[in-house]
Structures are given as C-alpha cells and as structure tokens.
C-alpha cells in the first residue's frame, strides 16, 4: 500500500503539462506534448497494473485484497480507454497521424496486459455469478459493468486488427514498388 501511495503521489506531483487532461481539452496541445502526456499516463497505469496484479488474483479468495483488484481493473480499463483514444488519434486526419510511430512495442505490451487483466476479471465474475448486485458493489470493484469491459476488449481487438492490416500493407509495399518499377507502360 505504501508503494501505491508513492506512485499516486508521484503522479499528482507531475507538472500539469505532463498530466493527461480530458481529450477535449487537449485539442490545442502540440502533438509532442500529447505524446508525452500519453507516455506518462500509460506508464502510470501500467505501474498500477504491475503493482497490483499479483494481489488481484488473491482477491478472488480473500476480500482483504479487494483494493488491489479494484486498482488493477481500474488501471487496465484506463489503459484500454487510452488505447481506443490513441487508435483514433493515429488515423488519417488524427492529431497524431504523423507521429503514429510512438505506439511502440512497449505500449502494445501494456495494452495486452490490460486486456488479460480484464479477461481475468470477466472470467472471475462469471465464476462468481457476480452479475447480480452484492456487497462487492459497495466496495467499488464492480465499478465497471460487464458490458463496459467487453466493449473495451472489443475496441482493443479492433486496434490490433488495424495494426495487422497496416503491417501487412507495409510488408507488401516493397513488392508492389518492384512491380511498378518493372512494368513500363
């Protein structure tokens, strides 16, 4: 818990320039500042996932660990929300289209981690039959509905599919360039 408090304190102590604001408030922000904000926010949320994921599994057996479960699920949902926002921003016409390279393999790993955490939570809820309201609701770790988590996973899947299509196009482009060079009209 002490490490969790230090992590939150460090995040609050960051200059506002590096803190993630509402997407609507970031419209006038330069792309490089937006990238820095995303990088800092993704690092913070990933750190929360890494810190709490071991204890999240314990929470399924022992309610004393529910804070870790809550923290882990909230951080994972935040990561998947950012993934969806980044996915929109790196599309043609998006603010980060020219800087889409910033979604590195590290961020992709973070998004995969978040998806796995949400899958674990959904699986646990199915096993517990926790779709019905119970005392857990007051403790807060059921903040996200099953539908919201499934939608976050679906959005993540669309992100991965778009990356796959982009990769296939990049792999095929040298071959197409060669074809164009050797076909004189």
pTM for this entry = 0.81
Residue 175 is predicted with a pLDDT of 58
Measured CA distances, 113 to 117, 118, 168 (Å)? 6, 9, 24
In whole angstroms, how far apart are CA 63 and each of 2, 4, 5, 14, 70? 19, 18, 20, 33, 11
The one-digit pLDDT tens for each residue of the chain (185 residues) are 899 999 999 999 999 888 988 767 777 889 999 999 999 999 999 999 999 999 999 998 999 999 999 999 999 999 999 999 998 888 888 888 888 777 776 678 899 999 999 999 999 888 776 444 444 544 455 689 999 999 999 999 988 887 777 667 666 666 555 555 555 55
Helices (H), the chain: 2-13, 31-59, 66-89, 105-128, 135-139, 146-182
Q: Are 146 and 125 in contact (CB under 8 A)?
A: yes
Burial class (CB in 10 A: 0-12, 13-18, 19+), 94: middle
């Amino acid at each position: 818990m002490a490490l969790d408090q230090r992590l939150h304190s460090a995040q609050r102590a960051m200059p506002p320039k590096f803190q993630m604001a509402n997407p609507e408030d970031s419209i006038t922000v330069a792309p490089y500042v937006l990238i820095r904000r995303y990088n800092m926010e993704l690092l913070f949320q990933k750190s929360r996932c890494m810190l709490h994921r071991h204890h999240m599994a314990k929470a399924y057996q022992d309610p004393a660990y529910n804070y870790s479960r809550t923290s882990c699920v909230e951080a994972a949902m935040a990561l998947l929300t950012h993934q969806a926002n980044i996915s929109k921003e790196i599309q043609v016409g998006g603010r980060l289209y020219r800087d889409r390279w910033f979604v590195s393999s590290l961020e992709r790993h973070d998004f995969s981690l978040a998806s796995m955490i949400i899958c674990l939570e959904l699986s646990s809820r199915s096993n517990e039959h926790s779709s019905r309201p119970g005392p857990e609701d007051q403790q807060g770790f059921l903040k996200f509905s099953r539908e919201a988590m499934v939608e976050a996973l679906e959005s993540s899947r669309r992100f991965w599919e778009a990356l796959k299509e982009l990769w296939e196009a990049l792999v095929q482009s040298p071959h197409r360039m060669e074809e164009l060079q050797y076909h004189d009209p």
